[in-house]
Chains A and B, each alone.
Chain A
Amino acid sequence: MVSFPFKTVKAQCNSSLVTVCSAKLSKDATYLKELRARLKAQKSGQQKPVARFSLLLNKGNHYRFNICNAEEFDSKVVLQLYERNKLLGTSYFAKTGKHYPFFDFICPKTGVYKVLMSFEGGKEGCAVGILSLIKK
Protein backbone atom coordinates (compact mmCIF):
# COMPACT_ATOMS: atom_id res chain seq x y z
CA MET A 1 0.00 0.00 0.00
CA VAL A 2 1.36 3.37 -0.96
CA SER A 3 0.56 6.57 0.82
CA PHE A 4 1.53 10.15 0.22
CA PRO A 5 1.63 13.24 2.36
CA PHE A 6 -0.61 16.23 1.91
CA LYS A 7 1.58 18.58 -0.07
CA THR A 8 1.55 22.26 0.77
CA VAL A 9 0.51 24.44 -2.11
CA LYS A 10 2.51 27.64 -2.30
CA ALA A 11 -0.23 29.94 -3.32
CA GLN A 12 -2.43 32.46 -1.61
CA CYS A 13 -6.16 32.70 -1.52
CA ASN A 14 -6.71 34.21 -4.95
CA SER A 15 -6.72 33.11 -8.54
CA SER A 16 -3.15 31.86 -8.25
CA LEU A 17 -4.39 29.06 -6.00
CA VAL A 18 -6.54 27.75 -8.86
CA THR A 19 -3.58 28.17 -11.17
CA VAL A 20 -1.26 26.17 -8.98
CA CYS A 21 -3.84 23.52 -8.24
CA SER A 22 -4.71 23.10 -11.91
CA ALA A 23 -1.05 22.78 -12.78
CA LYS A 24 -0.86 19.80 -10.42
CA LEU A 25 -3.25 17.77 -12.53
CA SER A 26 -1.67 14.62 -13.83
CA LYS A 27 -0.98 14.20 -17.53
CA ASP A 28 -3.90 11.82 -17.92
CA ALA A 29 -6.39 14.28 -16.40
CA THR A 30 -8.60 16.69 -18.32
CA TYR A 31 -9.70 19.76 -16.40
CA LEU A 32 -13.46 20.11 -16.04
CA LYS A 33 -14.33 22.56 -13.30
CA GLU A 34 -13.04 24.50 -10.33
CA LEU A 35 -14.71 24.59 -6.93
CA ARG A 36 -13.74 27.45 -4.64
CA ALA A 37 -14.25 27.62 -0.88
CA ARG A 38 -13.46 30.72 1.16
CA LEU A 39 -15.03 30.23 4.57
CA LYS A 40 -14.95 32.12 7.84
CA ALA A 41 -14.38 30.41 11.18
CA GLN A 42 -17.27 28.68 12.80
CA LYS A 43 -18.89 30.89 15.42
CA SER A 44 -19.80 29.62 18.83
CA GLY A 45 -23.22 28.03 18.83
CA GLN A 46 -23.46 28.16 15.08
CA GLN A 47 -23.12 25.52 12.46
CA LYS A 48 -19.90 24.83 10.61
CA PRO A 49 -19.63 26.89 7.41
CA VAL A 50 -19.73 24.75 4.31
CA ALA A 51 -19.37 25.55 0.61
CA ARG A 52 -21.77 23.57 -1.55
CA PHE A 53 -21.66 22.70 -5.21
CA SER A 54 -23.83 20.66 -7.52
CA LEU A 55 -22.31 18.55 -10.24
CA LEU A 56 -23.74 16.44 -12.99
CA LEU A 57 -21.53 13.38 -13.33
CA ASN A 58 -21.75 10.69 -15.97
CA LYS A 59 -21.87 6.95 -15.51
CA GLY A 60 -18.64 5.14 -16.21
CA ASN A 61 -16.47 8.24 -16.06
CA HIS A 62 -13.41 8.24 -13.85
CA TYR A 63 -13.32 11.58 -12.04
CA ARG A 64 -10.65 13.07 -9.81
CA PHE A 65 -11.13 15.70 -7.13
CA ASN A 66 -7.86 17.53 -6.44
CA ILE A 67 -7.76 19.90 -3.50
CA CYS A 68 -5.35 22.67 -2.56
CA ASN A 69 -5.26 24.87 0.52
CA ALA A 70 -4.17 28.51 0.54
CA GLU A 71 -0.83 29.04 2.25
CA GLU A 72 -1.93 31.81 4.60
CA PHE A 73 -4.25 29.53 6.56
CA ASP A 74 -3.23 26.53 8.61
CA SER A 75 -6.60 24.86 8.16
CA LYS A 76 -7.09 21.88 5.91
CA VAL A 77 -10.08 21.53 3.68
CA VAL A 78 -12.17 18.38 3.58
CA LEU A 79 -13.97 17.78 0.31
CA GLN A 80 -16.88 15.37 0.44
CA LEU A 81 -18.91 13.95 -2.40
CA TYR A 82 -22.53 13.02 -1.86
CA GLU A 83 -25.37 11.58 -3.80
CA ARG A 84 -28.42 13.01 -2.08
CA ASN A 85 -27.58 12.42 1.59
CA LYS A 86 -25.26 9.49 1.03
CA LEU A 87 -21.55 10.11 1.43
CA LEU A 88 -19.65 8.60 -1.48
CA GLY A 89 -16.12 9.90 -1.04
CA THR A 90 -13.96 12.24 0.95
CA SER A 91 -10.48 13.71 0.89
CA TYR A 92 -10.06 12.89 4.56
CA PHE A 93 -9.85 9.16 5.14
CA ALA A 94 -10.51 8.41 8.78
CA LYS A 95 -9.19 4.85 8.44
CA THR A 96 -5.69 6.10 7.71
CA GLY A 97 -6.14 9.41 9.52
CA LYS A 98 -4.80 11.26 6.51
CA HIS A 99 -5.79 14.12 4.30
CA TYR A 100 -5.28 13.33 0.64
CA PRO A 101 -4.44 15.83 -2.10
CA PHE A 102 -6.96 14.10 -4.32
CA PHE A 103 -9.35 11.21 -4.49
CA ASP A 104 -10.88 9.38 -7.44
CA PHE A 105 -14.47 8.49 -8.11
CA ILE A 106 -15.70 6.10 -10.76
CA CYS A 107 -19.24 7.22 -11.34
CA PRO A 108 -21.74 4.35 -11.16
CA LYS A 109 -24.69 6.30 -12.52
CA THR A 110 -25.41 9.52 -14.31
CA GLY A 111 -27.01 12.09 -12.06
CA VAL A 112 -26.71 15.17 -9.94
CA TYR A 113 -24.14 14.91 -7.16
CA LYS A 114 -23.28 17.28 -4.37
CA VAL A 115 -19.87 18.42 -3.21
CA LEU A 116 -19.35 19.95 0.22
CA MET A 117 -16.14 21.68 1.23
CA SER A 118 -15.46 22.60 4.84
CA PHE A 119 -12.42 23.14 7.04
CA GLU A 120 -11.26 20.87 9.78
CA GLY A 121 -12.51 22.01 13.15
CA GLY A 122 -14.60 24.75 11.58
CA LYS A 123 -11.51 26.93 11.14
CA GLU A 124 -11.31 29.81 8.73
CA GLY A 125 -9.80 28.75 5.45
CA CYS A 126 -9.48 29.04 1.72
CA ALA A 127 -9.14 26.19 -0.73
CA VAL A 128 -9.97 25.09 -4.22
CA GLY A 129 -11.07 21.80 -5.59
CA ILE A 130 -10.44 20.87 -9.21
CA LEU A 131 -12.68 18.33 -10.88
CA SER A 132 -10.98 16.51 -13.72
CA LEU A 133 -11.69 13.57 -15.95
CA ILE A 134 -9.15 10.78 -16.05
CA LYS A 135 -8.55 9.47 -19.53
CA LYS A 136 -9.24 5.80 -20.17
Chain B
Amino acid sequence: MIYRLFIALFITSIMLVGCGTNSTEPQEEEQLDIDSFAETLAEDSFDIELDKEAIGEIIQNISSPVEMSALLKGEGIEFNYKFLSSTDNVDEFNTSFKQALNLGVLGADMGYLNMYNKTGAVLNYITAIKELSDELKVGQFFNFETLKRLATNSENIDSLMYMSISAFDKMDSYLRENNRSNISALLVTGVWVEGVYLASQVVKENDNQAIRERVAEQGIVMEQLLLVLDHYKKDKQFFSLISELEKVNSTLSEVKIIEEEGEMEMMEVDGVLMAVSNTKVSIEMSDELLERIISDIENLRAFVINY
Protein backbone atom coordinates (compact mmCIF):
# COMPACT_ATOMS: atom_id res chain seq x y z
CA MET B 1 0.00 0.00 0.00
CA ILE B 2 3.01 2.27 0.12
CA TYR B 3 2.62 3.21 -3.49
CA ARG B 4 -0.97 4.27 -2.85
CA LEU B 5 0.16 6.46 0.00
CA PHE B 6 2.70 7.94 -2.29
CA ILE B 7 0.04 8.65 -4.88
CA ALA B 8 -1.98 10.37 -2.21
CA LEU B 9 0.87 12.64 -1.21
CA PHE B 10 1.74 13.44 -4.75
CA ILE B 11 -1.76 14.19 -5.91
CA THR B 12 -2.38 16.39 -2.89
CA SER B 13 0.58 18.46 -3.89
CA ILE B 14 -0.40 19.04 -7.48
CA MET B 15 -4.17 18.95 -7.58
CA LEU B 16 -5.82 21.69 -9.58
CA VAL B 17 -9.40 22.55 -10.26
CA GLY B 18 -11.63 19.92 -11.80
CA CYS B 19 -13.03 19.97 -15.26
CA GLY B 20 -16.72 19.48 -14.61
CA THR B 21 -19.34 21.93 -15.57
CA ASN B 22 -22.09 22.41 -13.08
CA SER B 23 -25.46 23.22 -14.42
CA THR B 24 -29.04 23.15 -13.41
CA GLU B 25 -31.05 20.41 -14.99
CA PRO B 26 -34.68 19.44 -14.99
CA GLN B 27 -35.61 17.34 -12.02
CA GLU B 28 -35.04 13.69 -12.60
CA GLU B 29 -36.64 10.78 -10.90
CA GLU B 30 -35.27 10.27 -7.43
CA GLN B 31 -35.56 6.53 -7.65
CA LEU B 32 -34.77 4.77 -10.83
CA ASP B 33 -36.44 1.47 -11.29
CA ILE B 34 -34.58 -1.37 -12.91
CA ASP B 35 -37.38 -1.83 -15.40
CA SER B 36 -36.96 1.69 -16.63
CA PHE B 37 -33.31 1.37 -17.59
CA ALA B 38 -34.05 0.56 -21.16
CA GLU B 39 -36.52 3.36 -21.50
CA THR B 40 -35.59 6.59 -23.05
CA LEU B 41 -35.91 9.59 -20.78
CA ALA B 42 -38.25 12.37 -21.69
CA GLU B 43 -37.00 14.33 -24.64
CA ASP B 44 -36.84 17.50 -22.62
CA SER B 45 -34.90 15.96 -19.72
CA PHE B 46 -31.66 17.59 -20.75
CA ASP B 47 -29.94 18.91 -23.75
CA ILE B 48 -27.17 16.60 -24.83
CA GLU B 49 -25.82 18.92 -27.51
CA LEU B 50 -22.10 19.29 -27.34
CA ASP B 51 -21.19 22.82 -26.42
CA LYS B 52 -17.69 24.22 -26.43
CA GLU B 53 -16.98 23.11 -22.89
CA ALA B 54 -18.28 19.64 -23.61
CA ILE B 55 -16.00 19.38 -26.60
CA GLY B 56 -13.14 20.37 -24.32
CA GLU B 57 -14.04 17.54 -21.99
CA ILE B 58 -14.18 15.07 -24.84
CA ILE B 59 -10.84 16.21 -26.06
CA GLN B 60 -9.45 15.66 -22.62
CA ASN B 61 -10.83 12.16 -22.68
CA ILE B 62 -9.38 11.42 -26.09
CA SER B 63 -6.03 12.32 -24.63
CA SER B 64 -6.00 9.28 -22.37
CA PRO B 65 -2.65 7.78 -23.28
CA VAL B 66 -3.33 4.30 -21.97
CA GLU B 67 -6.60 3.00 -23.40
CA MET B 68 -5.15 1.86 -26.71
CA SER B 69 -2.14 0.32 -25.00
CA ALA B 70 -4.46 -1.43 -22.55
CA LEU B 71 -6.29 -2.97 -25.49
CA LEU B 72 -3.06 -4.19 -27.05
CA LYS B 73 -1.87 -5.75 -23.83
CA GLY B 74 -5.30 -7.17 -23.04
CA GLU B 75 -5.31 -8.89 -26.42
CA GLY B 76 -2.01 -10.56 -25.62
CA ILE B 77 0.02 -8.55 -28.12
CA GLU B 78 3.73 -8.50 -27.38
CA PHE B 79 5.50 -5.23 -26.76
CA ASN B 80 7.45 -3.88 -29.72
CA TYR B 81 10.03 -1.09 -29.41
CA LYS B 82 10.11 -0.46 -33.13
CA PHE B 83 6.66 1.14 -33.01
CA LEU B 84 7.80 3.93 -30.70
CA SER B 85 8.75 7.41 -31.77
CA SER B 86 12.41 8.25 -31.20
CA THR B 87 13.40 10.55 -28.37
CA ASP B 88 16.82 11.29 -29.87
CA ASN B 89 16.25 14.65 -31.49
CA VAL B 90 13.35 16.27 -29.70
CA ASP B 91 15.28 19.54 -29.65
CA GLU B 92 14.76 19.63 -33.40
CA PHE B 93 11.13 20.43 -32.82
CA ASN B 94 11.47 24.17 -32.75
CA THR B 95 7.89 25.37 -33.08
CA SER B 96 5.15 25.18 -30.47
CA PHE B 97 3.07 23.41 -33.07
CA LYS B 98 5.50 20.52 -33.44
CA GLN B 99 6.46 20.51 -29.78
CA ALA B 100 2.85 20.13 -28.67
CA LEU B 101 2.08 17.41 -31.21
CA ASN B 102 5.15 15.44 -30.24
CA LEU B 103 4.60 15.92 -26.55
CA GLY B 104 1.35 14.07 -27.16
CA VAL B 105 3.11 11.40 -29.21
CA LEU B 106 5.70 10.78 -26.51
CA GLY B 107 2.98 10.79 -23.85
CA ALA B 108 1.20 7.99 -25.67
CA ASP B 109 4.49 6.12 -26.03
CA MET B 110 5.13 6.51 -22.32
CA GLY B 111 1.67 5.08 -21.68
CA TYR B 112 2.56 2.14 -23.93
CA LEU B 113 5.83 1.57 -22.08
CA ASN B 114 4.12 1.86 -18.71
CA MET B 115 1.37 -0.53 -19.71
CA TYR B 116 3.99 -3.15 -20.55
CA ASN B 117 6.01 -2.36 -17.45
CA LYS B 118 9.05 -1.25 -19.46
CA THR B 119 10.13 1.14 -16.76
CA GLY B 120 13.78 1.21 -17.81
CA ALA B 121 13.00 2.64 -21.23
CA VAL B 122 10.54 5.11 -19.73
CA LEU B 123 13.46 7.22 -18.47
CA ASN B 124 14.35 8.44 -21.95
CA TYR B 125 10.76 9.38 -22.57
CA ILE B 126 10.46 11.21 -19.28
CA THR B 127 13.53 13.26 -20.19
CA ALA B 128 12.24 14.05 -23.67
CA ILE B 129 8.81 14.94 -22.30
CA LYS B 130 10.41 17.27 -19.80
CA GLU B 131 12.28 19.04 -22.55
CA LEU B 132 9.20 19.54 -24.69
CA SER B 133 6.90 20.49 -21.83
CA ASP B 134 9.44 23.05 -20.57
CA GLU B 135 9.59 24.55 -24.04
CA LEU B 136 5.81 24.86 -23.94
CA LYS B 137 5.97 26.24 -20.38
CA VAL B 138 3.87 23.45 -18.89
CA GLY B 139 6.69 21.49 -17.31
CA GLN B 140 5.41 22.40 -13.85
CA PHE B 141 2.82 19.64 -14.03
CA PHE B 142 5.42 16.92 -14.16
CA ASN B 143 7.37 16.04 -11.08
CA PHE B 144 10.23 14.69 -13.11
CA GLU B 145 12.46 13.69 -10.27
CA THR B 146 9.71 11.59 -8.73
CA LEU B 147 8.77 10.12 -12.10
CA LYS B 148 12.36 9.16 -12.71
CA ARG B 149 12.65 7.59 -9.29
CA LEU B 150 9.47 5.59 -9.83
CA ALA B 151 10.73 4.49 -13.22
CA THR B 152 13.72 2.78 -11.66
CA ASN B 153 11.55 0.18 -9.98
CA SER B 154 8.99 -1.85 -11.89
CA GLU B 155 6.97 -2.33 -8.71
CA ASN B 156 6.02 1.34 -8.91
CA ILE B 157 4.28 0.94 -12.23
CA ASP B 158 0.81 1.82 -10.90
CA SER B 159 2.09 5.03 -9.35
CA LEU B 160 4.08 5.89 -12.43
CA MET B 161 1.11 5.38 -14.68
CA TYR B 162 -1.21 7.31 -12.39
CA MET B 163 1.18 10.24 -12.14
CA SER B 164 1.78 10.32 -15.88
CA ILE B 165 -1.91 10.33 -16.76
CA SER B 166 -2.73 12.81 -14.05
CA ALA B 167 0.05 15.15 -15.16
CA PHE B 168 -1.11 15.11 -18.78
CA ASP B 169 -4.67 15.66 -17.63
CA LYS B 170 -3.73 18.69 -15.57
CA MET B 171 -1.49 20.12 -18.22
CA ASP B 172 -4.32 19.86 -20.71
CA SER B 173 -6.77 21.53 -18.30
CA TYR B 174 -4.29 24.29 -17.57
CA LEU B 175 -3.76 25.00 -21.26
CA ARG B 176 -7.48 25.22 -21.93
CA GLU B 177 -8.09 27.43 -18.90
CA ASN B 178 -5.34 29.79 -19.96
CA ASN B 179 -6.46 30.43 -23.50
CA ARG B 180 -3.97 28.01 -24.95
CA SER B 181 -6.54 25.58 -26.21
CA ASN B 182 -4.73 25.41 -29.52
CA ILE B 183 -1.75 23.81 -27.77
CA SER B 184 -4.10 21.50 -25.86
CA ALA B 185 -5.75 20.44 -29.13
CA LEU B 186 -2.35 19.62 -30.62
CA LEU B 187 -1.32 17.71 -27.54
CA VAL B 188 -4.35 15.44 -27.62
CA THR B 189 -4.05 15.08 -31.38
CA GLY B 190 -0.52 13.81 -30.87
CA VAL B 191 -1.69 11.34 -28.23
CA TRP B 192 -4.45 10.11 -30.48
CA VAL B 193 -2.28 9.82 -33.60
CA GLU B 194 0.32 7.78 -31.74
CA GLY B 195 -2.31 5.54 -30.16
CA VAL B 196 -3.98 4.75 -33.44
CA TYR B 197 -0.56 4.33 -35.09
CA LEU B 198 0.45 1.75 -32.49
CA ALA B 199 -2.81 -0.12 -33.05
CA SER B 200 -2.49 0.03 -36.83
CA GLN B 201 1.06 -1.33 -36.73
CA VAL B 202 -0.05 -4.16 -34.50
CA VAL B 203 -2.97 -5.05 -36.72
CA LYS B 204 -0.64 -5.00 -39.71
CA GLU B 205 1.26 -7.89 -38.16
CA ASN B 206 -1.50 -9.62 -36.21
CA ASP B 207 -4.90 -10.73 -37.36
CA ASN B 208 -6.68 -9.54 -34.26
CA GLN B 209 -10.37 -8.72 -34.56
CA ALA B 210 -10.65 -6.44 -31.53
CA ILE B 211 -7.73 -4.25 -32.57
CA ARG B 212 -8.87 -4.27 -36.18
CA GLU B 213 -12.26 -2.98 -35.05
CA ARG B 214 -10.70 -0.38 -32.78
CA VAL B 215 -8.77 1.02 -35.75
CA ALA B 216 -11.84 0.89 -37.95
CA GLU B 217 -14.03 2.88 -35.58
CA GLN B 218 -11.58 5.75 -35.16
CA GLY B 219 -13.74 7.86 -37.44
CA ILE B 220 -15.94 8.41 -34.39
CA VAL B 221 -13.03 9.89 -32.47
CA MET B 222 -11.75 11.74 -35.51
CA GLU B 223 -15.10 13.50 -35.82
CA GLN B 224 -14.66 14.98 -32.33
CA LEU B 225 -11.04 15.87 -32.94
CA LEU B 226 -11.78 17.68 -36.19
CA LEU B 227 -14.53 19.66 -34.46
CA VAL B 228 -11.95 21.16 -32.15
CA LEU B 229 -9.11 21.58 -34.64
CA ASP B 230 -11.45 23.33 -37.04
CA HIS B 231 -11.40 26.35 -34.71
CA TYR B 232 -7.77 26.93 -35.64
CA LYS B 233 -7.82 26.18 -39.35
CA LYS B 234 -6.84 29.76 -40.26
CA ASP B 235 -3.38 28.96 -38.98
CA LYS B 236 -1.32 27.52 -41.81
CA GLN B 237 0.16 24.72 -39.72
CA PHE B 238 -3.22 23.72 -38.36
CA PHE B 239 -4.63 23.80 -41.86
CA SER B 240 -1.94 21.33 -42.97
CA LEU B 241 -2.64 19.06 -40.02
CA ILE B 242 -6.39 19.15 -40.65
CA SER B 243 -5.77 18.27 -44.29
CA GLU B 244 -3.73 15.24 -43.24
CA LEU B 245 -6.38 14.18 -40.75
CA GLU B 246 -9.12 14.58 -43.32
CA LYS B 247 -7.34 12.19 -45.66
CA VAL B 248 -7.52 9.54 -42.94
CA ASN B 249 -11.07 10.50 -42.11
CA SER B 250 -12.12 10.16 -45.71
CA THR B 251 -10.85 6.59 -45.79
CA LEU B 252 -12.31 5.79 -42.37
CA SER B 253 -15.69 7.01 -43.56
CA GLU B 254 -15.85 3.99 -45.87
CA VAL B 255 -16.08 1.71 -42.84
CA LYS B 256 -19.63 0.54 -42.18
CA ILE B 257 -20.68 0.48 -38.56
CA ILE B 258 -23.95 -1.35 -38.00
CA GLU B 259 -25.72 -1.02 -34.71
CA GLU B 260 -28.46 -3.21 -33.37
CA GLU B 261 -29.78 -1.49 -30.31
CA GLY B 262 -30.54 -3.72 -27.36
CA GLU B 263 -31.88 -3.40 -23.83
CA MET B 264 -29.87 -2.22 -20.88
CA GLU B 265 -30.00 -3.85 -17.52
CA MET B 266 -28.29 -3.50 -14.19
CA MET B 267 -27.37 -6.46 -12.06
CA GLU B 268 -25.06 -7.51 -9.28
CA VAL B 269 -22.40 -9.91 -10.47
CA ASP B 270 -20.17 -11.31 -7.73
CA GLY B 271 -21.02 -8.33 -5.60
CA VAL B 272 -20.26 -5.79 -8.30
CA LEU B 273 -23.01 -3.63 -9.71
CA MET B 274 -22.83 -3.97 -13.48
CA ALA B 275 -24.50 -2.03 -16.25
CA VAL B 276 -24.89 -4.51 -19.08
CA SER B 277 -25.97 -3.63 -22.58
CA ASN B 278 -27.33 -5.99 -25.18
CA THR B 279 -26.58 -3.54 -27.94
CA LYS B 280 -24.61 -5.17 -30.75
CA VAL B 281 -22.27 -3.25 -32.99
CA SER B 282 -20.68 -4.85 -36.01
CA ILE B 283 -18.11 -3.39 -38.33
CA GLU B 284 -17.75 -4.07 -42.02
CA MET B 285 -14.32 -3.36 -43.45
CA SER B 286 -12.50 -5.20 -46.21
CA ASP B 287 -8.82 -6.10 -45.94
CA GLU B 288 -8.15 -3.71 -48.79
CA LEU B 289 -9.82 -0.86 -46.91
CA LEU B 290 -7.88 -1.70 -43.77
CA GLU B 291 -4.62 -1.52 -45.74
CA ARG B 292 -5.52 1.92 -47.01
CA ILE B 293 -6.43 3.09 -43.51
CA ILE B 294 -3.11 1.84 -42.16
CA SER B 295 -1.24 3.53 -44.98
CA ASP B 296 -3.05 6.84 -44.33
CA ILE B 297 -2.32 6.59 -40.62
CA GLU B 298 1.37 5.98 -41.36
CA ASN B 299 1.46 9.10 -43.53
CA LEU B 300 -0.31 11.12 -40.86
CA ARG B 301 2.08 9.94 -38.19
CA ALA B 302 5.08 10.76 -40.41
CA PHE B 303 3.69 14.27 -40.86
CA VAL B 304 3.40 14.62 -37.08
CA ILE B 305 6.84 13.34 -36.07
CA ASN B 306 8.89 14.86 -38.89
CA TYR B 307 10.89 17.94 -37.93
A-side residues, CB < 8 A to B, are 1-4, 14-16, 18-20, 22-23, 27, 30-39, 46-56, 58-61, 80-82, 84-96, 100, 102-112, 114, 116-118, 120-122, 128, 133, 135-136
Contacts and interface: CB of A to CB of B under 8 A. Distances in A.
6 A-B pairs with least C-beta separation: A89-B275, A15-B15, A36-B18, A2-B271, A136-B74, A50-B25
Interface string B208-230: 00100110010011001000000
6 contacts: A19-B8, A19-B15, A60-B71, A86-B41, A88-B275, A136-B75
Interface residues of B, number: 80
Given A15-B15, A105-B275, A85 B40 contact: yes
Contact of B169 (A20, A33, A89): A33
A49 to B, nearest CB: 5
Interface of B: 4-5, 7-8, 11-12, 15, 18-28, 30-34, 36-43, 45-46, 48, 50, 54-55, 57-58, 60-62, 64, 66-67, 70-71, 73-75, 158, 161-162, 165-166, 169, 210, 213-214, 217, 220-221, 224, 259, 262, 264, 266, 268, 270-281
Given A88-B264, A102-B273, A104-B274, A56 B32 contact: no
Contact of A81 (B50, B73, B275): B275
A56 B18 CA distance: 17
Contacts of A105: 274-275
Contacts, number: 226
Nearest to A121: B30
B282 to A, nearest CB: 10
Contacts of A95: 33-34, 266
Contacts of B57: 53-55
B162 A90 contact: no
A130 to B, nearest CB: 11
A103 B12 CA distance: 25
Contact of A88 (B37, B70, B213): B37
Contacts of B23: 49-52
B24 A93 contact: no
Given A49-B24, A52-B25, A135-B74, A104 B169 contact: no
Contacts of A14: 15
B259 A19 contact: no
Contact of A31 (B8, B48, B166): B166
A90 to B, nearest CB: 6
A91 B273 CA distance: 8
Nearest to A14: B15
B7 A93 contact: no
B124 to A, nearest CB: 22
B28 A19 contact: no
A36 B70 CA distance: 25
Contact of B271 (A3, A58, A60, A122): A3
Contacts of A55: 57-58, 61
A52 B20 contact: yes
A88 B197 CA distance: 31
B11 A32 contact: no
A85 B43 contact: yes
Contacts of A110: 214, 217, 220-221, 281
B8 A100 contact: no
A81 B67 CA distance: 19
Which of A33, A108, A118, A121 gathers most chain B CB within 10 Å? A108
A47 B20 contact: no
A120 B22 contact: no
B273 A50 contact: no
